[in-house]
């Protein structure tokens, strides 16, 4: 027990053992890891500090330290503990400092980051504010520009309106002045014509008087000559009687029964101083005895009566001849004044005039359907016609279908729909009916109301430049002026209430009304709603235009014109009538007048008790065709003119309409044919003819139909063999130019006209 056993890890060679006081005096190395701040380490703590007085043996029993080494060991342990404690404190201080530094750095970093974030936020806010300000400025600039543009546009619109009003006022003033000038000129012309007629009448009377005086002088001279002849005859008779008395009595007198009447003495030339002698072969004893009325004085009286009667007859004949010659000369006679008269001329015997149009021969050969198909099929496949083709050809006399290509399929009819409207009008209304336009008194003194009757042909000129036989505003104004008795006109109201519903139909384009071919459909219009008579451009306000025309004709072009309704029971101031219905149908077909067709369609609706609107007219037209016995399957129309792109009609219905108009099976339907344009002559076919084609003059009569991508043709054609055919060709998929599509259909019609097809 005298030696101290070596501790594990210590060497016993007498050197300083591990863990000596020198090492204990040095700070313990910090651990590799610890919760301290970066760069600091926590020294490993001393778990159990034993006094160096005891040595622990393996069995756990303490072994007393040997001698004085125990005190040194204890001192070293204390020093080590103090050193460890100092190290721990230092570490704790360093760690606290490090933590404070780290916290301060973190705070500074956080503050810097916060400052940076705040700066970034402020920068973003500044940028956003700048962007917002720029956007606001741009918006303000745009709005200012828009407002300025709007102001300029409004100013321009006002200027245009003022200019238009000024132009209209000037035009109306010019029209009024022209009307007044025309009327003054007409009055002057009438006065001049009256003066001329009066002068001619006076000259004629003078000539008649001179002729009568001349005839009277001639008659008096003739009477004097006859009296002289009578006196000579009496002298001759007395001389003869004296000579007879001197003859022997043995001469046998002639019995009264054998006597012949004495011929009237005929004076002849004789020499001066020659004695009168009886005519050769005449015996004086043959003079008939006188009765009581055959005395010479009585005979002279009778002769005077005869002479006076002859004179009067001669005067009357001369006057009649003079009047006849004058009337003949005024009628435009081309006989020269010095023309030689031929009294013995023999005129040829004239017979009655023959008919201008003759009936078609019932024996004309019928085209063979197979041959006809061989002719038409290649023509109908022309590239310009495109797809969507339907066609039909029917013999009018027999009704036999000669050609059919999808004729039951509905297609866009375009203006060929006017054929349906025309037939509906002619079978619903009396062809002699007219459309009435009326003016009645307004609700205030001097105010007049123009009540539209659906007549768009009412003319602002006299006569009309667009519609032959149309009623005129001048006639209407003359009646109104007379009815007002000099009361000044203070205003014009236009009553369009006869027509209802929208002013344009479904399927019409935005640019269709107004345009050069259509206008809003109103019950009142003048000149077909044209802006100016004779022009093609239509107006967007037909009613007020008609009111202004009436105001100008009444001599009050500056009075207000407005739309309204006539007061109930207002007295009538004037009325005018249109041309007959059948004439209006002809005009609508020949010129393809859309507004006139729409107005006529509404008349059919009114007659059938339906609204006078687009829908009412479409329903009425369909019902009228059905009542006429036609099959309207597939017919779906939305207007009366065919301007709507939504209209659908099969080709076979168009052919049926044309056929019943041509064969006379429906009363008054023949009026449809007289309105069909004639190829190369008039209407919408005036400029459409195949140069050098087979169709003769007047052989193709058909209604045209044209819309964008649509070309139709339906009508009649007279073949080269004299057979009348009804046909319809509808192509609503044409490509290329308009003239190419029309030309392709013209070629088809020309081929039909020139086809014997047998």
Tell me how far apart the alpha carbons of residues 449 and 564 are, in angstroms, rounded to a whole number.
8
Question: Beta-strand (E) ranges in 474-552?
Answer: 491-495
Dihedral, CA atoms, 655, 658, 660, 661, nearest 10 degrees?
A: 180
Instruction: State yes or no: is 592 an active-site residue.
Output: yes
Alpha-carbon distance of 83 to 19, in angstroms, equals 13
* Cβ atoms < 10 Å from Cβ of 723: 23
Contact between 739 and 682 under an 8 Å Cβ cutoff? The reply is no
Is the separation of the CB atoms in 720 and 372 below 8 Å?
no
Determine the Cα–Cα distance for residues 659 and 669; give it in Å rounded to an integer: 10
240 vs 135: CA distance, rounded Å? 148
Q: Which of 418, 459, 541, 599 is catalytic?
A: 418
Q: Is 418 a catalytic residue?
A: yes
Residue closest to 607 by CA, chosen among 437, 433, 438:
433
- How far does the chain reach from its first CA to its final CA, in angstroms? 158
Supply 572's token pair: 């009538």
- In this structure, are residues 719 and 367 in contact, taking their beta carbons and an 8 Å threshold? yes
Tell me whether residue 415 is one of the annotated catalytic residues. Answer: yes
Residue among 460, 464, 592, 599 flagged as catalytic: 592
DSSP assignment letter at 252: P
3-state secondary structure 598-661: HHHHHHHHHHCCCCCCHHHHHHHHHHHHHHCCCCCCCCECCCCCCCCCCCEEEHHHHHHHHHHH
Token couple for 25: 């005096």
**In the numeric block, which tokens belong to residue 691?**
């140069």
Nearest to 676 by CA among 581, 585, 578: 585
Name 450's bridge partners: 439, 494
- DSSP per-residue codes, 724-751: EEEEEEEESB--S-HHHHHHHHHHHHHH
Task: Report helix, strand or coil for 711.
Answer: strand
Catalytic residue among 415, 459, 460, 539: 415
CA angle at residue 439 from 433 to 443, to 5 degrees? Answer: 145
Secondary-structure percent of the chain, ordered helix, strand, coil, rounded to 5: 45, 10, 40
Structure tokens at 636: 């779906």
C-alpha pair distances (Å), 500 with each of 47, 326, 599, 616: 114, 59, 12, 9
Question: Residue 488 corresponds to which tokens in the numbers above?
Answer: 């000044």
CA distance linking residue 522 with residue 453, whole number of Å: 10
Residues annotated as catalytic (active site), given as ranges: 415, 418, 592
């Amino acid at each position: 027990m005298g030696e101290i056993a070596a501790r594990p890890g210590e060497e016993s060679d007498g050197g300083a053992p591990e863990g000596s006081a020198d090492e204990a005096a040095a700070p313990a190395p910090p651990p590799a890891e610890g919760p301290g701040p970066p760069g600091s380490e926590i020294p490993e703590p001393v778990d159990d500090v034993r006094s160096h007085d005891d040595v622990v043996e393996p069995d756990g029993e303490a072994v007393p330290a040997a001698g004085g080494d125990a005190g040194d060991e204890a001192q070293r342990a204390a020093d080590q503990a103090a050193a460890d404690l100092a190290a721990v404190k230092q570490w704790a201080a360093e760690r606290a400092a490090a933590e404070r530094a780290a916290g301060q750095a973190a705070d500074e970093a956080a503050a810097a980051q916060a400052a940076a974030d705040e700066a970034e936020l402020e920068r973003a806010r500044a940028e956003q504010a700048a962007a917002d300000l720029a956007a606001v400025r741009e918006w303000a600039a745009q709005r200012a520009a828009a407002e300025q543009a709007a102001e300029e546009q409004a100013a321009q619109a006002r200027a245009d309106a003022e200019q238009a009003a000024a132009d209209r006022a000037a035009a109306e003033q010019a029209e009024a002045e022209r009307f007044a000038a025309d009327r003054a000129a007409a009055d002057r012309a009438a006065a001049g014509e009256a003066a001329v007629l009066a002068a001619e009448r006076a000259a004629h009377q003078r000539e008649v008087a001179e002729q009568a005086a001349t005839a009277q002088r001639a008659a008096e001279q003739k009477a004097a000559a006859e009296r002289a002849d009578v006196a000579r005859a009496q002298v001759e008779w007395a001389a003869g009687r004296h000579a007879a008395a001197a003859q022997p009595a043995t001469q046998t007198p002639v019995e009264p029964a054998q006597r012949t009447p004495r011929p009237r003495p005929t004076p002849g030339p004789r020499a001066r101083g020659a004695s009168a002698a009886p005519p050769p072969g005449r015996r004086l004893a043959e003079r008939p005895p006188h009765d009581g009325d055959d005395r010479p004085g009585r005979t002279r009286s009778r002769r005077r009566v005869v002479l006076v009667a002859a004179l009067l007859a001669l005067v009357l004949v001369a006057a009649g001849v003079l009047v006849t010659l004058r009337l003949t000369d005024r009628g435009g006679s081309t006989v020269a004044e010095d023309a030689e008269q031929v009294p013995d001329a023999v005129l040829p015997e004239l017979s009655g005039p023959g008919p201008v149009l003759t009936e078609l021969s019932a024996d004309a050969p019928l085209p063979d359907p197979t041959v006809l198909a061989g002719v038409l099929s290649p023509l109908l496949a022309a590239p310009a016609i495109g797809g969507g083709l339907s066609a039909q050809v029917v013999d009018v006399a027999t009704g036999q279908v000669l050609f059919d290509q999808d004729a039951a399929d509905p297609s866009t009819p375009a203006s060929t729909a006017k054929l349906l409207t025309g037939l509906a009008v002619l079978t619903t209304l009396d062809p002699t009916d007219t459309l009435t336009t009326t003016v009645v008194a307004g609700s205030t003194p001097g105010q007049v109301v123009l009540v539209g009757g659906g007549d768009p042909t009412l003319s602002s000129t006299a006569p009309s430049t667009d519609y032959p036989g149309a009623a005129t505003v001048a006639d209407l104004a003359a009646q109104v002026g007379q009815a007002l008795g000099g009361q000044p006109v203070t205003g014009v109201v236009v009553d369009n209430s006869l027509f209802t519903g929208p002013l344009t139909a479904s399927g019409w384009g935005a640019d269709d009304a107004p345009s050069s071919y259509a206008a809003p459909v109103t019950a009142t219009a003048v000149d077909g709603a044209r802006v100016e008579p004779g022009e093609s451009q239509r107006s967007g306000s037909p009613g007020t235009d008609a009111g202004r025309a009436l105001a100008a004709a009444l001599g009050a072009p500056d009075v207000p014109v407005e739309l309204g309704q006539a007061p109930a029971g207002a007295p009538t101031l004037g009325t005018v009538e249109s041309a007959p219905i059948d004439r209006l149908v002809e005009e609508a077909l020949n010129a393809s007048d859309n507004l006139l067709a729409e107005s006529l369609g509404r008349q059919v609706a009114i007659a059938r008790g339906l609204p006078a609107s687009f829908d009412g007219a479409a329903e009425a037209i369909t019902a009228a065709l059905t009542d006429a016995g036609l099959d309207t399957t597939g017919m779906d129309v939305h207007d009366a003119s065919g301007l709507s792109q939504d209209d659908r009609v099969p080709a076979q219905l168009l052919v049926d309409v044309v056929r019943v108009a041509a064969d006379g099976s429906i009363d008054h339907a023949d009026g449809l044919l007289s309105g069909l344009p004639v190829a190369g002559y008039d209407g919408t076919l005036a400029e459409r003819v195949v140069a050098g084609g087979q169709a003769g003059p007047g052989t193709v009569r058909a209604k045209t139909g044209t819309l964008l991508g649509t070309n139709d043709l339906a009508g009649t054609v007279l073949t080269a063999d004299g057979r009348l055919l009804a046909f319809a060709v509808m192509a609503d998929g044409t490509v290329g130019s308009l003239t190419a599509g029309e030309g392709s259909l013209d070629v088809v019609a020309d081929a039909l006209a020139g086809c014997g097809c047998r």
